[in-house]
Amino acid sequence: MKKFYQVSTPWINEVEKKNVNNALRNNELSGFFGRYIPEFEKKFSKFCKAKYAVTVNSGTTALHLALVTLGIKKGDEVIVSSLTNMASVFAILYIGAIPVPIDIEDDTYNLDVDLIEDKITKKTRAILAVHLFGHPAEMNKILKISKKYNLKIIEDCAEAHGALYKNKMVGSIGDAGCFSFYANKIITTGEGGMITFNSKKNASRAKNLKELAFGKGNKFMHTGIGYNYRMTNLQAALGCAQMQKIEVIIDKKIKLAKLYEKYLSKNKLIHLPITKKNFKNVYWMYCIKIPTLNSLKRKKLLKQLYQKGIETREMFIPYNLQDFYLKTEKKINCPKANKVAYNSFYLPSGTDLKEEDVKYISGWLNKLVK
């Protein structure tokens, strides 16, 4: 039987099973009870070099809860990269705030920070900086802009666990860092997420809000409008096990990227991901760009790769090109993001891949891209 190379497969073994079975034996199932939730939060905050961490049930709810915690309200404007998973944008829309899309850099696909100031108005309240595919955004410039205009910074670290910006861990730089533990992320709890803070006040507020804003004296005299965003203890049990592997997983991702570079770098039609100086890219997914492609040509190429047992994923469609956006909003042109959306895709990036697998995948890609 021909081998099939999936885009990503989680690394689950006996450690995860042991933790989950232990939680089951002790009837520690929910998001209110069990030792694994505080343990996971403690381990993750330490890993990120942030003071506090709050578990939630997805990366999307992490973003939403972070925005609410930091006081972003209906009608406020939030600067965000146009090229991102739409969860980044949806979280802003959930509270009735207004996403303001920014075009991207050519090489990292992160938001072009030099375009931010022109988009700032009296309504701007925050910058949502996405660390796309594991490469950190240019945070020093974002910090300077936020200080100048008194803006909050939310880091979307869903794809960047362990990435470094000039020796600073992503998730520890802004006012809040939001992580996803979906099945294809650096580490996984199946579904799930985390918010990191350096403010005890914000961490406490987020924790209360994610638990339906229960009251302290009388539990059912709620402190405000809360959300049911709890991670279960079963998921946290998985997370604690995954934390034992996180450094190894990141190391495997980086080594995999070097192997792809080894076998693809001679093909000048294929543009490979980069790592800027003083940055650490954790290569969540190995995303390549082929400038000669358009939507139809890419579809044909990906079908050909699939027939060879190679699964791929298309690049995200930018916010400014989404049908729901174009029906209701004033059109904003992000030409770089628009092109990348249809000439890029990512290759199998699981930690289980060996050099012979990368050689096979790269070999067919080189044959098909001439």
**Segment 143-183, tens digit of pLDDT:** 999 999 999 999 999 999 999 999 999 999 999 999 999 99
When pLDDT is averaged across residues 332-348 and rounded to a whole number, the result is 96
Phi, psi of 104, deg, nearest 5: -110, 170
Domains and their CATH numbers in the chain: 14-243 (3.40.640.10), 246-368 (3.90.1150.10)
pLDDT at 238 (0 to 100): 98
Inform me whether the pLDDT recorded for 332 exceeds 90: no
Inform me whether the pLDDT recorded for 316 exceeds 80: yes
pLDDT at 184 (0 to 100): 97
3-class DSSP assignment, residue 41: helix
When pLDDT is averaged across residues 286-294 and rounded to a whole number, the result is 97
- What does the angle CA 227 – CA 184 – CA 336 come to, to the nearest 5 degrees? 90
Inform me whether the pLDDT recorded for 329 exceeds 80: no
Inform me whether the pLDDT recorded for 309 exceeds 70: yes
Cα dist. 277→135, 175, 256, 280 in Å? Answer: 11, 25, 19, 8
**Segment 205-222, tens digit of pLDDT:** 999 999 999 999 899 999
How buried is 113 (Cβ within 10 angstroms: 0-12 exposed, 13-18 middle, 19+ buried)? Answer: buried
Give the position of tokens 């400038």: 291
pLDDT at 370 (0 to 100): 86
Beta-carbon-side half-sphere exposure of residue 366 (alpha carbons within 13 Å): 15
Inform me whether the pLDDT recorded for 240 exceeds 70: yes
Inform me whether the pLDDT recorded for 49 exceeds 80: yes
pLDDT at 204 (0 to 100): 97
pTM: 0.96
Inform me whether the pLDDT recorded for 93 exceeds 80: yes
Inform me whether the pLDDT recorded for 330 exceeds 80: no
Look at residues 344, 132, 345, 369 and name the one whose alpha carbon lies nearest to residue 263: 369
Query: CA 146 to CA 172: how far, in whole Å?
Result: 15
**pLDDT range class, residue 1, cuts 50, 70, 90:** low
* Three state DSSP letters for 246-304: HHHHHHHHHHHHHHHHHHHCCCCCCECCCCCCCEECCCCCEEEECCCCCHHHHHHHHHH
pLDDT at 319 (0 to 100): 96
When pLDDT is averaged across residues 5-28 and rounded to a whole number, the result is 95
pLDDT at 104 (0 to 100): 98
**pLDDT range class, residue 31, cuts 50, 70, 90:** confident
**pLDDT range class, residue 97, cuts 50, 70, 90:** very high
What radius of gyration, in Å, describes the C-alpha atoms of the chain? 21
In percent, the amount of the chain with pLDDT more than 90 equals 95
Q: What type of residue is 211?
A: E
